[in-house]
Amino acid sequence: MAAPVVRGVRKLLKLVNFTRVPRRHRYKKKWATTEPEFPASRLALQNFDMTYSVQYGDLWPSIRVSLLSEQKYGALVNNFAAWDNVSAKLEQLSAKDFVNEAISCQEPESGLSPVPPPNCSPNLRCFTFSRGDVSRFPPARLGSLGLMEYYLMDAASLLPVLALGLQPGDTVLDLCAAPGGKTLALLQTGCCRNLAANDLSTSRTGRLQKVLHSYVPQDIRKGNQVRITSWDGRKWGELEGDTYDRVLVDVPCTTDRHSLHEEENNLFQRSRKKERQTLPMLQVQLLAAGLLATKPGGHVVYCTCSLSHLQNEYVVQGAIELLANQYSIKVQVEDLSHFRKLFMDTFCFFPSCQVGELVIPNLMANFGPMYFCKMHRLP
């Protein structure tokens, strides 16, 4: 608004509030309590416009419109249900298993059948509609074995689990696990000798319990194989240091897509400003704890559903420095560029991450954002 107009509006407000009202009856409008708050989703968009237009330059308008449009889902097949029937049903909808499609398109070595690339978790089947097809999956149903047939999730959320590269017999920690999409995917690999699934929030670990109850047979849930806890993940290094083969650190973040569409639990509410500002610090602490909980020689995947460099690459670099300086532990970032090549038909990747990989939303493939970075704790 131009300055004279603003001054005019102010004058008008003064007139409305004070003209001809006797002094003792004057009141001052209580803006904070009487006016509806500026919606948090609008604040999120303002914030993203400021920061991401600088970070992403010419790419930002296309990412922005995709973030504001309907996202696409993937259907993670439940291997504990009758997976071959479920896969056939999903194929009838003209959806394709993007994981196995990518693997089978690789050039097999001298007549051998295609094998998953090294360090890619096995046995995961996730169906998506092809590029530009915005069909939706019907809600999942209970299958013949009494378990839900598939789990609907942002298909890009499967990439951190694939990148973790589980091997049969691994001990695995999912440090921030709720509501449980990635925990479920970790169990689908059939590789977890035992899996510790933790989340600070007890209400959210309740949701995780429900997901596992609907998708995983009782003998796996109730045996020693899965342990669910509600601890502060930042303390994990002290609680169980040098313990796990693989650790997933899926930290709380600005959840960019959610922040643009939902008012509830939105981190851009004015009252949560401090929490927002301290988020990268919490993320560094959680990643450092995850690295400390890993056995020397083990692997960690860090991920967020944010486009912010401050929450992605900077956190990875911060945690690696912290471990080197405070614990003399060396951590190496692993190259995941083969993932970009392997899954380029399904996702749109940002081409120039300094460390890790980032799926950026695109109208033809509206998944993500999903940042993931794999680290090796050196022996």
Ligand X SMILES: C[S@@+](CC[C@H](N)C(=O)[O-])C[C@H]1O[C@@H](n2cnc3c(N)ncnc32)[C@H](O)[C@@H]1O
Q: Position of tokens 């609008």?
A: 42
Contacts (CB under 6 A) with ligand X, residues 306-365: none
Q: How far is the CB of 26 from ligand X (least distance, A)?
A: 47
Least gap, CB of 111 to ligand X (angstroms)? 39
Q: Which is closer to ligand X, CB of 143 or CB of 233?
A: 233
179 annotated among ligand-binding-site residues: yes
- Tokens at residue 355, please? 């460390």
Residue 170: φ, ψ to 5°: -70, 145
Rounded to 10 degrees, the C-alpha dihedral 64/99/250/325 comes to: -100
User: Are the beta carbons of 105 and 134 closer than 8 angstroms?
Assistant: no
305 is catalytic: yes
Question: Which residue spans within the chain are E strands per DSSP?
Answer: 74-77, 96-97, 126-128, 150-153, 170-174, 192-198, 226-229, 244-250, 294-304, 331-333, 357-359, 370-377
Total of chain residues touching ligand X, rule CB under 6 A? 18
Is the Cβ–Cβ distance between 145 and 167 less than 8 Å?
no
Identify which of residues 43 and 196 has a Cβ nearer to ligand X in the complex. Answer: 196
The length of the chain in residues reads 379
Site for ligand X in 191-210 (CB under 6 A): 198-201, 204
Give the interface segment with ligand X, choosing from 162-170, 176-184, 343-351, 359-367 (CB under 6 A): 176-184
| Contact positions with ligand X (CB under 6 A) in 91-130 | none
Question: How far is residue 176's CA from residue 151's CA, in Å, rounded to a whole number?
Answer: 19
- CA separation (Å) from 266 to 67, 153, 181, 238, 280? 16, 20, 20, 31, 17
**CB 321 → ligand X: shortest distance, Å?**
20
Q: Does 181 bind ligand X (CB under 6 A)?
A: yes
Nearer to ligand X, 60 or 75 (CB): 75
Which C-beta is closer to ligand X: that of 252 or that of 280? 252
Using CB under 6 A, pick the residue from 74, 116, 143, 252 that binds ligand X.
252
Q: Which two tokens stand for residue 262?
A: 């939902």
The distance of closest approach from Cβ of residue 234 to ligand X in the complex, given in angstroms and rounded to an integer, is 5
229 binds ligand X (CB under 6 A): no
**CA-CA-CA-CA torsion sign (27, 29, 30, 33):** positive
Count of other CB atoms within 10 angstroms of residue 14: 10
Q: To the nearest whole angstrom, how small is the minimum distance from the Cβ of residue 156 to ligand X?
A: 11
* Residue 232 is a binding residue for ligand X (CB under 6 A): yes
Give Cβ neighbours of residue 164 (< 8 Å, ≥ 6 apart): 121, 172, 186, 246, 248, 299, 301, 374
* Binding-site member from 64, 72, 125, 182 for ligand X (CB under 6 A): 182
177 annotated among ligand-binding-site residues: yes
Instruction: Name the active-site residue from 126, 192, 305, 348.
Output: 305
Coil vs helix vs strand at 75: strand
**Contact range with ligand X by CB under 6 A, out of 80-88, 105-113, 212-220, 229-237:** 229-237
Question: Do residues 156 and 231 touch, judged by C-beta distance below 8 A?
Answer: no
Contact (CB, 8 A) for 156 and 359? yes
Among 74, 165, 180, 369, binds ligand X (CB under 6 A): 180
Residue from the set 131, 234, 272, 338 that interacts with ligand X by CB under 6 A: 234
CB nearer to ligand X: give 60 or 205. 205
Structure tokens at 245: 């083969």
Q: Give, to the nearest 10 degrees, the angle between helix 313-327 and helix 279-293.
A: 50
The annotation places the binding site for S-adenosyl-L-methionine at: 176-182, 199, 232, 250
Which residues carry out catalysis? 305
| Site residues (vs ligand X, CB under 6 A) | 157, 176-182, 198-201, 204, 232-234, 250, 252
